[in-house]
Structure 1
């Protein structure tokens, strides 16, 4: 008997080896923060230490200006050297004022000397970023500090000195404009992810501590994960989706035991066999100084799970932060441009060389009307960020006014697709990152509208947040001696097909019958015989 099969839902960004008709089901939901109001409200926030659960860092961004500690709306560190609190705004903004609410039931003087620092670096937990303002006098209630705009993603409140306690009942952050300028670094995919580990050392060693966004390396401050002294100890984070992972950063413990981390294997993949520790090996950790953060880069590996696995010995696996980053999907694309200046080809903008030492590593059009450059990603993605690197030697202003457009149509060479951002200016040799909020598209265009313009790009990088769900309907006809109208038989067939697809590298696939198979009667011409004699 012959039957007709089936539909496939697949969550993957790879080009399928099967020839099928694709119906794309596209999902959005990522958005750019609106900064007309308080940017810090419900943002990701961490602090140097925690006095007790009533002093959680999140109390500083809960929207409540209650100054009474007993109402559980204030933060509280331990007594320590240089206590701090850091807010991650997610994007880079031009920040012009910060409002602080002081504790009112006691201890108002603690806030004197606190510094407001703003920037894009996490060196020294962000406390080395630009100083925007200092609290010089004790105040009651809420005080607003205004200053010349400072560009930054991170807002730190740090209290320099010995034996200090930092208590904040609210922190509010306000920017000049209602959209972020750009994003300085790709999003850490591990931040806030679901983390588990082989065992947990009592009290302060929870697996989740390694993905709290805090590189604090002192164990007693509650920001490191620790297992018991297991043999083959491991730690795992679930990224929630399949990503093309290209680098992982690990922060080592800073107060002792620096050698515990040596020999850890970074493994990435989609299988939970052996708790995920059989997935592909990306890198192995060598010696790391106390409190150091080291980044491991490797060829792209697709996976939902990132494991840190310590095989072959009994050890307390200790991690003070694990950060995971997805790769630039532009490098697998194809490029073209409206015209080409001698030797400055379109593909040089995706060669992973930002052209800062040699500008011939950049693309460039001729001087013309509405010059454009286009990248074909070969698949539809939900694009979160586009990075553009400007030339370093001269003419930085040429890129001013360039539009970044993303979509699926090639009408007008793709230049009619929706706008992600308009580049106001990029300093010479700088790379600026523009948030596109999950815009869907296969094509990324840069175009400068106007007469006699030149478009030069030293690198274009494209990052996406979530793989697009592709729904593929496959119509198959085949012979079977079993009755596929039987539900149990149909289920068995789907399992076999799923295993075959997995063997071919196509994972994260959900198979189902779109309709019940029907028997098809095949007529056989009895007048012909392979034997030539009718038998």
Structure 2
């Protein structure tokens, strides 16, 4: 080989080595920074639809499974409605630019024709009056079609077939935003899904109903909180950190008795003296019309707790939604820890009756199993429950709310395990903590050194048991 050829070969080898190093560094950098692929905001989010045909619930369309054969059980399906619709709640406002829809693959592809994609922040007409992003001409059997459009700011994404009686079947819906700062320019509702309590509870409407993201103002529809007829009734949300709160929006009951809210005080601060009702007065509610949402703006008040409080009389306090916002330019705005488990995909060893795994990550700490917000396995040997955080986090804290109406001892000995393996359903991952006991209906926090993992398991090893979880919350350092 001539000297010229040897030099050429050496140059090629050096170039290949350098290129390989760059590719490896590029992959490592983008893997660590989580920029390797856009995140599907709809995955595991809360979804509802106009009606349900047989058993395929709305959540089937955001389970991460594009299997397009309806009979395999991963597609949502409405009844034959006039103007059928499906909606996903992204739980925050994003600048949405792309929606992908996977159509049914085994039959009747034409049913999707003419469907509209609508995006916005209103629940008027179930969200179907929000801005039109795109219209589906057609999607072939089993195909996935992507619709791109200019950024539309919204929390809700609807798929809506206007003007005819139709079955709406969706085998997957994926929602994406631009990777620009525009996706984070909208203020976040700090109260959404946070822990809430109230002076008493009238029948079933727990305090959390006022921060479930649903402004439906008809009390009978089940999305409003409601106290008993208390002297000085109150409601309180815990933001879990101190914020410079500047704005609170209240949605009043819409079907009756609008005047009950008159004179309510909004109080904000860090004290729980008198249940938080002695904190600083931010604003007083004069009145709010039936079903209306009224926003109260004020100078920044630093506080962790936001109370709605009716002083000086016996009254029922009903709140159909409370939203809390902070000046995003204050350093404290981004300090609130996020419950990584909220709305994430969850599975369990078995299901007792209809108490599915996702009930334990619905943001509702109601501990009465019969109210329908707790997960529940069958009487398994070594029963387990698992949540998928969808990314790897350094988990430092897990909070468990135990069943409150009976059988508190069933949780005794449960292990919290965290890691990235699905071997033995994730139950071989690192042991973070062991539950000795949790009293009826109480919430217990387990704090430990950071453990890297995508999966968080609750497992009861070594015995036949029912595993019931009324809420599991997961936080990272």
Asked if the contact 1:133–1:145 (Cα under 8 Å) also holds between the matched residues in 2, the reply is: no
The higher-RCO structure (CA 8 Å, 6+ apart) is 1
Asked if the contact 2:102–2:170 (Cα under 8 Å) also holds between the matched residues in 1, the reply is: yes
Corresponding position of 2:247: 247
Q: Following the alignment from structure 1 to structure 2, what is the Cα–Cα distance between the partners of residues 111 and 316?
A: 46
Correspondence list, 1:154-233, <5 A:
154=155, 155-160=157-162, 168-175=170-177, 177-203=178-204, 205-233=205-233
Q: Following the alignment from structure 1 to structure 2, what is the Cα–Cα distance between the partners of residues 202 and 110?
A: 42
Question: Is the partner of 1:228 in helix, strand or coil?
Answer: coil
Corresponding position of 2:295: 295
Following TM superposition, by how much is the alpha carbon of 1:37 offset from its aligned partner in structure 2, in angstroms?
3.6
Corresponding position of 1:265: 265
Alpha-carbon distance change, 218 to 49 in structure 1, aligned in 2, over 3 angstroms: farther
| Greater mean alpha carbon deviation, residues 217-226 or residues 58-67 | 58-67
Asked if the contact 2:235–2:308 (Cα under 8 Å) also holds between the matched residues in 1, the reply is: yes
Asked if the contact 2:193–2:212 (Cα under 8 Å) also holds between the matched residues in 1, the reply is: yes
Asked if the contact 1:196–1:236 (Cα under 8 Å) also holds between the matched residues in 2, the reply is: yes
Question: Is the partner of 2:182 in helix, strand or coil?
Answer: coil
Following TM superposition, by how much is the alpha carbon of 1:239 offset from its aligned partner in structure 2, in angstroms?
0.3
Following TM superposition, by how much is the alpha carbon of 1:240 offset from its aligned partner in structure 2, in angstroms?
0.5
Alpha-carbon distance change, 74 to 180 in structure 1, aligned in 2, over 3 angstroms: farther
Alpha-carbon distance change, 146 to 207 in structure 1, aligned in 2, over 3 angstroms: same
Asked if the contact 2:246–2:300 (Cα under 8 Å) also holds between the matched residues in 1, the reply is: yes
Following TM superposition, by how much is the alpha carbon of 1:110 offset from its aligned partner in structure 2, in angstroms?
7.3
Q: Following the alignment from structure 1 to structure 2, what is the Cα–Cα distance between the partners of residues 77 and 188?
A: 34
Asked if the contact 2:99–2:173 (Cα under 8 Å) also holds between the matched residues in 1, the reply is: no
Corresponding position of 1:149: 150
Asked if the contact 1:38–1:174 (Cα under 8 Å) also holds between the matched residues in 2, the reply is: yes
Question: Is the partner of 1:260 in helix, strand or coil?
Answer: helix
Following TM superposition, by how much is the alpha carbon of 1:268 offset from its aligned partner in structure 2, in angstroms?
1.0
Higher helix share: 2
5+ long unaligned stretches in structure 1: 1-30, 331-379, 385-535
Following TM superposition, by how much is the alpha carbon of 1:295 offset from its aligned partner in structure 2, in angstroms?
0.5
Asked if the contact 2:235–2:307 (Cα under 8 Å) also holds between the matched residues in 1, the reply is: yes
Alignment deviations for residues 55-98 of structure 1 (CA, whole Å, 9 cap, x no partner): 76554433133565895774769979875514327464451342
Corresponding position of 1:313: 313
Asked if the contact 2:56–2:73 (Cα under 8 Å) also holds between the matched residues in 1, the reply is: no
Count of aligned pairs between the two proteins:
301
Q: Following the alignment from structure 1 to structure 2, what is the Cα–Cα distance between the partners of residues 104 and 312?
A: 63
Corresponding position of 2:90: 88
Corresponding position of 1:99: 101
RMSD after superposition: 4.1
Q: Following the alignment from structure 1 to structure 2, what is the Cα–Cα distance between the partners of residues 208 and 69?
A: 36
Alpha-carbon distance change, 91 to 307 in structure 1, aligned in 2, over 3 angstroms: closer
- TM, length-normalised to structure 2: 0.52
Alpha-carbon distance change, 190 to 89 in structure 1, aligned in 2, over 3 angstroms: closer
Correspondence list, 1:368-407, <5 A:
none
5+ long unaligned stretches in structure 2: 1-31, 336-477
Q: Following the alignment from structure 1 to structure 2, what is the Cα–Cα distance between the partners of residues 233 and 52?
A: 42
Rg larger in structure: 1
Alpha-carbon distance change, 75 to 316 in structure 1, aligned in 2, over 3 angstroms: farther
Q: Following the alignment from structure 1 to structure 2, what is the Cα–Cα distance between the partners of residues 162 and 262?
A: 43
Alpha-carbon distance change, 237 to 50 in structure 1, aligned in 2, over 3 angstroms: farther
